[in-house]
């Protein structure tokens, strides 16, 4: 998948001292958020509900339209974010907004707003958004100190579970490990692939849609940002992983200053005009899953061809299997998507495919463009 486009410098000077002060703060000197009391909700049946009730007002739903690199149009995806200032700055994962052609954020009790992407650090999977047109007195989360988190710490994961919207879902668990490294892929089998380090691991059941949501201790302090989930076992759910909030806060400060290590830039995407298995409307969340849709022909089978597209003009049809682009084998979705994204709109490519009759063809295709 191509990365989204953003110019950080246009907003960096407008964020003011409030964001920087918040991002510098820690649990020993917390801001007055109006969200979490921080009095210590220890034990008892109502502890999880009390934490959720305290933090929920600052947890937002993020809905995106995601560019399809091979076909016209967009897919829908959903994730979570957390308000980190009363003026509408939202912290979330980069993979929640990557490839988005449109982003809408819902703040419960206040409304739904478009956003400007202040900036991202794709290598750290962190993004900072700014709500457009929102009120200036929004609730915002209280950031804790993730360096103090220990194995066995009780936590509550809060988010837009399964992209259902409405009141955030909350599930409790414990920290089962710290300092973990994972290699994560998008569950759709696309080109999104990242290695993340020094993560918190939890047995709280993080599911698609929770990405970017807060992992909270029983004092109502955010100690991590939910980011990935292990492949579920047959018996239920795998464990989840969260970026420690101290690290996320440091990266967000750099983004606010226009110093993020990898920013995203709007432009125009090339597309071929086919739909392939594994690229379908869904929820973005990176899972530790193998890349799928390798066929017996060691290629990617076309499930549909859009009308008036380069693929249709070249004679490609549903059921054909693309085996190579410019002579390079395309054994799965990720490789095929990468081969398309490596070109600009209008660029010529050669597509090798096997038709449903078993005949191999090689055709020239001039990729089209879709405005981002």
Catalytic residue, candidates 211, 247, 269, 306: 211
The CATH number assigned to the domain holding 330 equals: 2.30.42.10
Residue 194 binned pLDDT confidence (cut-offs 50, 70, 90): low
Determine whether 211 is an active site residue.
Answer: yes
Of the listed ranges 5-14, 111-120, 319-328, 353-362, the least confidently predicted one is: 5-14
Please give the mean pLDDT across all residues of the chain: 74
Residue 345 inside a domain? The answer is: yes
Asked if pLDDT for residue 285 goes beyond 50, the answer is no
Per-residue 3-state assignment (H helix, E strand, C coil) for the chain: CCCCCCCCHHHHCCCHHHHHHHHHCCCCCCCCCCCCCCCCCCCCCCHHHHHHHHHHHHEEEEEEEEECCCCCCEEEEEEEEEECCCCCEEEECHHHHCCEEEEEEEECCCEEEEEEEEEEECCCCEEEEEECCCCCCCCCCEECCHHHCCCCCEEEEEECHHHCCCCCEEEEEEEEEEEEEEEEEECCCCCCEEEEEEEEEECCCCCCCCCCCEEEECCCEEEEEEEEECCCCCCCCCCEEEEEHHHHHHHHHHHHCCCCCECCCCCEEEECCEEECCCCCCCCCEECCCCCCCCCCCCEEEEEECCCCHHHHCCCCCCCEEEEECCEECCCHHHHHHHHHCCCCCCEEEEEEECCCCCEEEEEEECEEEEC
Per the model's pLDDT, the better-predicted residue between 268 and 175 turns out to be 175
What average pLDDT does this structure show over 271-290?
Answer: 43
What average pLDDT does this structure show over 323-345?
Answer: 80
Per the model's pLDDT, the better-predicted residue between 328 and 67 turns out to be 328
pLDDT for 150: 92
Q: Convert the pLDDT of each residue in 7-36 to its tens digit.
A: 222 222 223 333 434 443 333 333 333 333
Q: Convert the pLDDT of each residue in 62-94 to its tens digit.
A: 998 876 655 555 577 889 999 999 999 999 998
Residue 322 inside a domain? The answer is: yes
Residue 132 inside a domain? The answer is: no
Residue 359 inside a domain? The answer is: yes
Asked if pLDDT for residue 209 goes beyond 90, the answer is no
Q: Convert the pLDDT of each residue in 135-185 to its tens digit.
A: 989 999 999 999 899 999 999 999 988 878 788 889 999 999 988 887 766
Q: Convert the pLDDT of each residue in 221-266 to its tens digit.
A: 999 999 988 755 544 456 889 999 999 998 888 888 776 544 433 3
Residue 281 inside a domain? The answer is: yes
Instruction: State how many domains the chain has.
Output: 1
Catalytic residue, candidates 27, 56, 95, 269: 95
Per the model's pLDDT, the better-predicted residue between 119 and 215 turns out to be 215
Per the model's pLDDT, the better-predicted residue between 100 and 27 turns out to be 100
pLDDT for 39: 34
Instruction: Residue 275: give the domain boundaries.
Output: 268-371
What average pLDDT does this structure show over 97-115?
Answer: 90
CB of 245 within 8 A of CB of 224?
A: yes
Per the model's pLDDT, the better-predicted residue between 287 and 61 turns out to be 61
Residue 347 inside a domain? The answer is: yes
pLDDT for 29: 31
Residue 306 inside a domain? The answer is: yes
Residue 117 inside a domain? The answer is: no
């Amino acid at each position: 998948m191509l990365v989204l486009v953003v110019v950080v410098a246009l907003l960096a000077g407008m964020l003011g001292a409030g964001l920087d002060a918040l991002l510098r703060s820690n649990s020993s000197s917390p801001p007055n958020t109006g969200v979490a009391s921080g009095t210590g909700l220890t034990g008892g049946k109502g502890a999880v509900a009390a934490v959720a009730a305290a933090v929920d007002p600052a947890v937002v739903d993020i809905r995106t339209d995601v560019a399809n690199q091979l076909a016209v149009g967009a897919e829908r995806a959903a994730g979570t974010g957390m308000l980190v200032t009363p003026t509408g700055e939202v912290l979330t994962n980069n993979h929640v907004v990557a490839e988005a052609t449109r982003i809408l954020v819902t703040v419960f009790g206040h409304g739904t707003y478009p956003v400007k992407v202040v900036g991202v650090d794709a290598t750290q999977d962190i993004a900072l958004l700014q709500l457009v047109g929102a009120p200036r007195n929004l609730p915002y989360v209280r950031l804790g100190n993730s360096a103090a988190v220990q194995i066995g710490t009780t936590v509550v994961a809060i988010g837009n579970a399964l992209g259902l919207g409405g009141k955030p879902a909350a599930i409790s668990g414990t920290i089962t490990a710290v300092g973990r490294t994972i290699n994560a892929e998008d569950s759709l089998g696309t080109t999104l692939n990242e290695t993340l380090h020094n993560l918190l691991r939890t047995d709280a059941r993080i599911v698609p849609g929770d990405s970017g949501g807060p992992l909270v201790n029983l004092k109502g302090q955010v100690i991590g940002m939910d980011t990935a989930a292990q492949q579920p076992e047959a018996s239920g759910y795998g464990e989840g992983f969260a970026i420690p909030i101290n690290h996320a806060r440091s990266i967000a400060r750099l983004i606010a200053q226009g110093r993020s290590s990898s920013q995203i830039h709007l432009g125009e995407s090339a597309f071929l005009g086919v739909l392939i298995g594994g690229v379908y409307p869904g929820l973005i969340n990176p899972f530790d899953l193998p890349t799928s849709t390798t066929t017996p022909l060691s290629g990617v089978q076309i499930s549909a061809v859009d009308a008036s597209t380069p693929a249709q003009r070249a004679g490609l049809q549903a059921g054909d299997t693309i085996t190579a682009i410019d002579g390079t084998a395309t054994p799965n979705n990720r490789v095929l998507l990468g081969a398309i994204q490596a070109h600009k709109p209008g660029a010529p490519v050669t597509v090798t495919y096997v038709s449903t009759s078993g005949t191999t063809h090689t055709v020239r295709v001039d990729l089209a463009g879709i405005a981002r």
